[in-house]
A and B are shown apart, each in its own frame.
Chain A
């Protein structure tokens, strides 16, 4: 019985039939054929729309000063603080506070490492700034004397202070200068956390305004004056101000209490010049307010049933090189839409189907976005909406905008470059 079982097991061994092919003599007659073609007329009915994300909704505030190209400035309004405090717990009477100083924090979330003498210049702005404020309206405020200025490059060049007292207070090493500026490098993303130490002449506490202050930041550098400050839309990256003040404790007239209070920005945004031009016949992506372009793809029948797409690339021809600070770049993402209802088409959240590319300032090259997974999904599902939306990532966080020729410009219209494998001729010897 054991012998029989052994024999049966022997006969039931796993097959191993795969061998190196000796072609063409000992290979099947057919071959896996591959073809590469550019479909120039499948992208149709493309349109651009603007107004998706405003500057004050952006994840960052770009600051740049490139003469003749762009001047971008960050603006923010800090929250109010109570001008009076309860001096004694349980008491109903309050006493006024007297501000001693303030410390303003901004986070540089993006900068050009090749910048030389990168400086952040702080300006006082009217507290009436809001989402309607324009570059022109705030020009006079930015022309006033600078409140404070910090040389970020010089701070970075200083040795870090790492004594135990500093580590206990700041939680990490810091770099300081003689003007009271402090710089920390974030451990999580290497962004630069810059603190301005402000006395009462530079951080004016106005009781009538409940301590609300507004500031603007410009950037300057010997080379490549471009950076971006964090905004409140991203956790712990927006501007912060800490007011240091004292008050008199009424029950004991001789005693003075010293304390501080911190406030974030109630509003932050940026203004820039020249403004984003209005939409035209082309496909705009980016800018402020952000623009997106909707591209509809008429999938040919043969892509549904007789081929297997192994690579698909959208080919877009820019109208002109993107203007901006040299060395900058931004991402353009292609996302499929779930239902094509024009400008408000809901976008898919399946990130594996997204296509992405990086646009470099000043480059005039043809832009190619890989959409292999998306086109393969369309080929398999004939009921899928074959439309995708081009947008900037993150949106409205940059004044930069790229424009591509649309299908209305036949010579440079968007195209789909597909590489596909033809169906194997099964059944033939």
Chain B
């Protein structure tokens, strides 16, 4: 058994190192998170800045989890070089009136690497999904061309995302207080294809136009963690992002405001075997173009059992930033497991999340399987 664990740990380290290298070299547009039909009309689907551990608790532990890219101050808890990567596969069913579709996507939504510079200062960084812009839609219609009705099929595909590239610094200024700041480069691109097909392919040729849209923006964040008691910790964060610029072939085609966000959380440890947390977040998305809404999210979660192999549960409720009409809502429950190996040098986290998103005329139900790998070489 020990041999197996050791072997597994060795492979895990190798996989993590290779994955980290690949993810750093690879353009961040493939580091996409969960997509949603609600984001098609807007800038995209905002990502969840959470590790698998935090996601399995509904996001409630994200402010206190160093490997969740939400708070910079939480990096202060990293005592040695640590890297974590999150992967997910989601199965999504979309219902809009009589229209139903089943979709599937696999993503690597977050990567965090952090390590101490000194006893009190930790530097970290990585990628997280800021806005997912992967989608594909098909519509059928009949248009009148040269006096004759022509059935057509339009297909618009977008593949890519806008990622949040973060460089953060966290410092434990007092034994009970940690603060962090981060600078964010919001960057990414999407490959977009619009195709029109004619049923009468003898007379009309299909039309396909392709382009690549490059996105860019900047942001900054600040946060703090305060231990009120040895068991109770509170967190607060604020983040401000500038404008998101969209360029096609070197020409700026759109510029939209990105939100100011702030939030907080509280965690209560009940001995070594149980911890509970709750988190809140507000984001002012309403200035980010048409059909955008300010959002408020809350979550509650628990981590139970031994730190070596804890059980996690959580619930979340929130709003979606984009959607026609009333602000769409999201409700989710999650459960997960963690398993340390190689004497704490590595950890595998599993999570299963069920989300339901509702808006005017559309309902989405999502199952997401999450896999996280954390390595402390």
Question: How many chain A residues have a CB neighbour from B under 8 Å?
Answer: 46
**Chain A residue at smallest Cβ distance from B36:** A26
Which of A11, A26, A34, A425 interacts with B41 by CB under 8 Å? A26
- Do the beta carbons of B96 and A11 come within 8 Å of each other? no
Which of B41, B139, B194 interacts with A29 by CB under 8 Å? B41
Q: Which residues of B contact A423 (CB under 8 A)?
A: 209
Which of B155, B204, B348 interacts with A311 by CB under 8 Å? B204
- Do the beta carbons of B204 and A310 come within 8 Å of each other? yes
The distance from the CB of A184 to the nearest CB of chain B, in whole angstroms, is 37
- Do the beta carbons of B324 and A1 come within 8 Å of each other? no
Q: Which residues of B contact A188 (CB under 8 A)?
A: none
Q: Which residues of B contact A148 (CB under 8 A)?
A: none
Q: How large is the interface on B (under 10, 10 to 19, 20 to 34, 35 or more residues)?
A: 35 or more
- Do the beta carbons of B211 and A12 come within 8 Å of each other? no
- Do the beta carbons of A25 and B87 come within 8 Å of each other? no
Judge if B137 is at the interface, Cβ distance under 8 Å. yes
Judge if A419 is at the interface, Cβ distance under 8 Å. yes
- Do the beta carbons of A426 and B11 come within 8 Å of each other? no
- Do the beta carbons of A32 and B207 come within 8 Å of each other? yes
**Contact flags B84-95 to A (C-beta < 8 A → 1, else 0):** 000111000010
Which of B145, B158, B325 interacts with A419 by CB under 8 Å? B145
Judge if B37 is at the interface, Cβ distance under 8 Å. yes
- Do the beta carbons of A308 and B208 come within 8 Å of each other? yes
**Contact flags B113-148 to A (C-beta < 8 A → 1, else 0):** 000000000000000000000111111000101100
Bound complex: CA of A82 vs CA of B8, how far in Å?
A: 98
**Contact flags A403-429 to B (C-beta < 8 A → 1, else 0):** 000000000000001010101111111
Bound complex: CA of A417 vs CA of B204, how far in Å?
A: 13
- Do the beta carbons of B203 and A25 come within 8 Å of each other? no
Judge if B345 is at the interface, Cβ distance under 8 Å. no
Q: Which residues of A contact B206 (CB under 8 A)?
A: 310
Judge if A251 is at the interface, Cβ distance under 8 Å. no
Bound complex: CA of A429 vs CA of B157, how far in Å?
A: 14
Bound complex: CA of A334 vs CA of B204, how far in Å?
A: 18
Bound complex: CA of A10 vs CA of B348, how far in Å?
A: 15
Judge if A15 is at the interface, Cβ distance under 8 Å. yes
**Chain A residue at smallest Cβ distance from B154:** A32
Judge if A113 is at the interface, Cβ distance under 8 Å. no
- Do the beta carbons of B371 and A429 come within 8 Å of each other? no
Bound complex: CA of A36 vs CA of B104, how far in Å?
A: 38
Q: Which residues of A contact B192 (CB under 8 A)?
A: 424, 426
**Contact flags B346-377 to A (C-beta < 8 A → 1, else 0):** 00100000000000111000000101000000
Judge if A226 is at the interface, Cβ distance under 8 Å. no
Bound complex: CA of A51 vs CA of B236, how far in Å?
A: 90
Judge if A28 is at the interface, Cβ distance under 8 Å. yes
Judge if A16 is at the interface, Cβ distance under 8 Å. yes
Knowing A1-B8, A10-B369, A22-B37, say if A17 contacts B103 (CB, 8 Å). yes
- Do the beta carbons of B290 and A29 come within 8 Å of each other? yes
- Do the beta carbons of B156 and A28 come within 8 Å of each other? yes
Bound complex: CA of A240 vs CA of B77, how far in Å?
A: 103
Which of B89, B204, B246, B362 interacts with A26 by CB under 8 Å? B362
- Do the beta carbons of B205 and A309 come within 8 Å of each other? yes
Judge if A387 is at the interface, Cβ distance under 8 Å. no
- Do the beta carbons of A429 and B290 come within 8 Å of each other? yes
- Do the beta carbons of A25 and B196 come within 8 Å of each other? no
Knowing A12-B106, A427-B254, say if A23 contacts B139 (CB, 8 Å). yes
Judge if A370 is at the interface, Cβ distance under 8 Å. yes
Which of B12, B136, B208 interacts with A19 by CB under 8 Å? B136
Bound complex: CA of A313 vs CA of B205, how far in Å?
A: 12
- Do the beta carbons of B157 and A310 come within 8 Å of each other? no
**Contact flags B149-187 to A (C-beta < 8 A → 1, else 0):** 000001111110000000000000000000000000000
**Chain A residue at smallest Cβ distance from B37:** A26
- Do the beta carbons of B135 and A17 come within 8 Å of each other? yes
- Do the beta carbons of A7 and B105 come within 8 Å of each other? no
- Do the beta carbons of A310 and B196 come within 8 Å of each other? yes
**Chain B residue at smallest Cβ distance from A312:** B205
Bound complex: CA of A308 vs CA of B246, how far in Å?
A: 23
Which of B4, B139, B198 interacts with A27 by CB under 8 Å? B139
- Do the beta carbons of A428 and B105 come within 8 Å of each other? no
The distance from the CB of A23 to the nearest CB of chain B, in whole angstroms, is 6
Which of B41, B96, B198 interacts with A28 by CB under 8 Å? B41
- Do the beta carbons of A19 and B156 come within 8 Å of each other? no
Bound complex: CA of A310 vs CA of B197, how far in Å?
A: 10
Judge if A4 is at the interface, Cβ distance under 8 Å. yes
Q: Which residues of B contact A130 (CB under 8 A)?
A: none
- Do the beta carbons of B246 and A427 come within 8 Å of each other? yes
Q: Which residues of A contact B97 (CB under 8 A)?
A: 22
Q: Which residues of B contact A376 (CB under 8 A)?
A: 205
Bound complex: CA of A20 vs CA of B101, how far in Å?
A: 7
Q: Which 5 A/B pairs are nearest by Cβ-Cβ distance?
A: A21-B137, A19-B101, A18-B136, A427-B253, A424-B194
Could you list 13 examples of A-B contacts with CB < 8 Å?
A1-B7, A13-B89, A13-B104, A16-B104, A17-B134, A20-B96, A25-B362, A34-B143, A311-B205, A426-B192, A426-B211, A426-B253, A427-B247
What 14 new A-B contacts, CB under 8 Å, besides A18-B138, A32-B196, A424-B211?
A1-B7, A11-B87, A13-B106, A16-B104, A19-B37, A19-B137, A25-B360, A26-B38, A26-B96, A372-B203, A373-B205, A376-B205, A428-B246, A429-B42
